[in-house]
Structure 1
Amino acid sequence: MMTDAQIRSHLYAAGKACFVRYLEQCEDSTISNTEIANRISADCNYTLGSGQSRVSKIRSILQAGKRNRALEIIIESNVRERTKRQARSLLGLNNELTATEPPTRSQVPSPVPNENQLWVKAFQMPTVLKITSRTSSITNAFINAIIPIVPPTVTEIQHALQILEMQPDNVKCSYCGDTATEWDHLKPLVSNKKPTGYISEIHNLVPACGKCNQSKGNKLWNDWIISSAKKSPKSRGVAHIEDKIQRLEDYEAWGKVQPLDLKGLGGDHLWEEHWRHWEMIIDNMIEAQKSAALLRTTISEQFCRSR
């Protein structure tokens, strides 16, 4: 039976906003995990692996019959009011302000002067989304788009799991020992918004859980695994970390992974053309943000005059 602590852990890994947004799709058994993960990746700029991990956590809660309890926990937690409203709606707990007909001015009670602050706190303005807030996602997309993906042979998979002391029907996270949901890059593909030269091939990939993958990010695994980073194996009190480190070091020794000269392999012409496209898009986003801010201000001023 799934406890509240386990539900909270699953919600943390899936993301509470993600849970309420994609709950109904996850409840539809005709939609596969991959289909929903692709939607999450496209909508939220997550990697496909991250999307798959989130879907797995949401459906684990559903399989445990804890749908409504998860929604109750979201409502009780410190999340945006919009997320809480969505959770209430999914529980059938909409209040009067979410009814089909909005209240008239006469139906809204006038605040007592000394209660003004309370009324102000009850309202939460949505955050303005800037076009330039997506530049990091664009940069990561440009880097990941040129990283080769080399499928492994069966022999390589067998050898990899033997080094990690795992069986093919019971693959665990190499970092913490939980059930694996994806394969994570030991050496990061991106560092300081630049390609590192490492690629997606089995010598640079190990089984991982979504929790560890998200916590590790682009950090070096051997620094992160013993760090106090949130949700790292050490901070979660994972047992036998030294044994896991030894297996990962053996894995690295087997793979002998070295960064590639991506520019040299691709050729100067294609390389420069690729990054010219990136630079043009970033420049256009900066200019678009300027005009968007001016447009938003103009529309706002015109609206306020007409009220």
Structure 2
Amino acid sequence: MITDPARLPEAVMDSKLNPYMTYTFDKLSCLRGAYFAHVVFAYLVFLTGLGCFVTRLWRRLHPAHLWLGRAYIHSMLWCTATSLLINNTGLPVATLVSFIWVLGGMCVGWVVINIHQVLMARAAERAAGARIKAEGGVPGGDLPALIRAERGRIAGTKTFVQRFFSLKAAHGVIMFVSWINISGRIFASNQTGDFTCYTYPYYKQIDTPDFSGVGQPLKPVPVHDPEFSRLPWAKMGVVNWALALLFGPMLGAMAVGALYSWAESRRAVSARTAAAPAAAAEDEAAGNGKA
């Protein structure tokens, strides 16, 4: 059974002399195990990003580019999440700036390539429609293949200027900026595996709405929140709270989805019922015409 740390004695959770975690005010700011998870995801970011560029060099590997890009984004999310639990002395301002390029580049690059794909799909569909109209039907009877062929034809006819000054090229440049900044961070980080949680927070000697510290000696942040009972998960416990956050929204979404599906199915039935007389009349007219 998992015990809520907030309910354990202060002597048990006091982390001032604990190199494996920093626990204050019933909150975690550092956990040694999170460092190793962070390193794993950081390397996955590096490798999946590298794979994205490599797969663009060989046409047969192009299908893997999409999945590696998705893996890059997922790895980045978990790399960022695990970094929240490895805080000792904070981050240099220069590193924070590089993270703007890392996350900003990933977000902008993803939006740019999506816009490019939408525009290419529209152009290919228009071209396919023109061929269908000109030839009186779908050449070969395979519409998806026709659209893919038109996409390839459009891409193949682009000039150097059109390729270089394009959304697709911008996507590559922006994503490279994102990847190179996180890659440098990986190799500049501690790779020895001897990470520890070696700092502990103290209250500042200032007056704020949360703490009156002017004229007071330096005071460490307590292990437990003295007003922990006010928190919504205090009575439920961490495990029950986590389960409620998982299954509550899930069941709520399922209920809304069921209601929406029922309403849409009823609407579809009504539409078919209303259209049935007109369809029957058309069939009858067609039959009379043949007679």
TM-score, normalisation: structure 1: 0.21
Q: RCO (CA 8 Å, sep 6+): is it higher in 1 or 2? A: 2
* Larger gyration radius, structure 1 or structure 2: 2
